[in-house]
Amino acid sequence: MPSLDGTRIAFAVAAEGIEQVELTSPWQAVEEAGGQPVLISAENGTVQAFNHLDRADTFPVDVTFADADVTQYAGLVLPGGVANPDALRTDPDAVAFIKAFFEADKPVAAICHAPWTLIEADVVRDRTVTSWPSLQTDLRNAGAHWRDEEVVVDRGLVTSRNPDDLPAFNKAAIDAFSRA
C-alpha cells in the first residue's frame, strides 16, 4: 500500500446518520498508510454513527466546516449512510468545503449515499461515478455517467456502492491520496 507519510485527510460528516463502517474502515486505511484522518462536521462535540438503522458509536469532531481550511488536507472522504449526506447537502458550509476540494483539484472519495452531497456541490457533471443504486437517477440528472461497479475512479473522484466495496474503495482512495 502506498504511504501517506503524515498526510492529513479530511472526513466530512453530518452530526448523525453516518454509516459507521463507511467511516471507520477508510479511517483505519488512512492510519495504516501513515496518514492522519481528521473528522470535520458542522458543530463541535461528537457525531453519531449508525449500523444501518441502529445507533452505533459516537466520534469526536476535530474541527468544524466553518473553521476548516481545505489547503491543510491532501484529500477528502465522504462516508455514506442515508441521513449523513442528506444532512450535509443542506449545510452551505459543508457543501462549500466539499466543492473547494474539487476547485483545488484534490482527490475525493465518496461511498454509498455520499454522492448526494456531490450533486449539491455541482461537481459530478461529466464524471463517471457509482453509488448506492437508488442514487443513479439523481446522479444522471446532475450530469454524471453512472455505473454499477465496485469502485469507479474518474479524475481524482473515487466512488463505491456500499460497505461490501470497502476493500476496493479504501485501496483506490489511498492510491489517489498518495498521488496528491
What residues are labeled active site? 112-113
User: Which grid cell is 72?
Assistant: 491543510
Burial of 147 (C-beta count, 10 Å sphere; 0-12/13-18/19+)? middle
Q: How far apart are CA 40 and CA 38, in angstroms?
A: 6
List CB contacts of 58: < 8 A, sequence separation 6 or more: 46, 47, 48, 49
CA 26/CA 170 separation, integer angstroms: 6
